[in-house]
Amino acid sequence: MVNILYFASFREALGQADEQLPAQYPTVDALISELALRGDQWKQALLDNANLQIAVNHDVASRETAIKSGDEVAFFPPVTGG
């Protein structure tokens, strides 16, 4: 299984803070593509979001990052500050 976490505005937009999915996706991009099939909210938040922030096992990651069983994948909206 892969543990998936949704933070900040993603939690509200997608209606959940976390979930577990089978570890059948070789990369973060493959996982995102599958999640985007759930509907427009998912597609806009994850697939179409060029500023999507991703972490795998607490390390900054990209869409090309490999994932395996037991990994934690976290999605964050873009962060601004001043």
What pLDDT is stored for residue 82 in this prediction? 54
Give a yes or no: residue 82 inside a domain: no
State pLDDT tens for residues 37-76.
999 999 999 999 989 999 999 999 999 999 999 999 999 9
CATH number at residue 19: 3.10.20.30
Angle among Cα 76, 78, 82 to the nearest 5 degrees reads 125
Q: Which domain holds residue 55?
A: 2-76
Question: Rounded to whole angstroms, how far apart are CA atoms 37 and 82?
Answer: 35
The model's pLDDT over 7-22, given as tens digits with 9 standing for 90+, comes to 998 999 999 999 999 9
Number of domains in the chain: 1
Strand order in the sheet with 72-76: 18-21, 2-6, 72-76, 53-56, 59-61
**Whole-prediction pTM value?**
0.93
